[in-house]
Chains A and B, each alone.
Chain A
Amino acid sequence: EVQLVESGGGLVKPGGSLRLSCAASGFTFSSYSMNWVRQAPGKGLEWVSSISSSSSYIYYADSVKGRFTISRDNAKNSLYLQMNSLRAEDTAVYYCARARRDGYPDAFDIWGQGTMVTVSS
């Protein structure tokens, strides 16, 4: 079964750090671009970051640029999001999502169940 499972969410104080992980299974992880998308409580979806299959191309939303770092380990079938200098407005459910194709911008066809990040003192 094709699956993405996020972990690493939790409660963190403003200015703190957190590292999210996304474990992939059921497909050739190294052949796909991957993404992080977040959703604040009661709000819509916000794309956060993308990384190509070989990590050659990385993109960030302006709202997280300079604070968040996306990375992947194809040998471990895992995607990561290092989040530093966290703010209250980063509070959200964070989803990892697979892009349909690598090498071209495409829709997100597989999503994880999400992990909740709460930034509060």
Chain B
Amino acid sequence: DIQMTQSPSSLSASVGDRVTITCRASQGISNSLAWYQQKPGKAPNLLLYAASRLESGVPSRFSGSGSGTDYTLTISSLQPEDFATYYCQQYYSTPYTFGQGTKLEIK
């Protein structure tokens, strides 16, 4: 199984800050990586797929990069609605594993 390790597990930031979350796969996943945002009591929401492709309707302040085993999610200027938990997921091979999540909190 491919293990996905996200860091940090939690992060405090302020509105307007630039934040970066990283995700490392235990083996190469050829950009088969998605990022999701989840708010309390709600289903996850797809932000990016194929490591860097923005899902329709997602604000352009969200971006993704990476290759091989290392990937990043960047939020260029935090907005109040961005405080949530973020998950990476590899879909290179089953089982489709998720990172453990990064909780983004207001400083």
Interface residues of A in 38-74 (CB under 8 A from B): 44-47, 50, 59, 61-62
Interface residues on B, range: 20 to 34
The secondary-structure label for the interface of chain B is loop
Residue numbers of B with Cβ under 8 A of A are 32, 34, 36, 38, 42-46, 49-50, 55, 87, 89, 91-101
**Known A44-B100, A47-B95, A105-B91; further 19 A-B contacts with Cβ < 8 A:** A44-B98, A44-B101, A45-B38, A45-B89, A45-B101, A46-B98, A47-B96, A47-B98, A50-B96, A95-B44, A99-B91, A105-B93, A105-B94, A107-B50, A107-B91, A108-B46, A108-B89, A111-B44, A113-B42
Query: Can you spell out 25 A-B residue pairs with CB atoms less than 8 angstroms apart?
Result: A35-B96, A44-B98, A45-B38, A45-B44, A45-B98, A47-B89, A47-B96, A47-B98, A59-B95, A62-B95, A95-B43, A100-B49, A105-B32, A105-B94, A107-B34, A107-B50, A107-B55, A108-B34, A108-B36, A108-B89, A109-B46, A109-B49, A111-B44, A111-B45, A114-B43
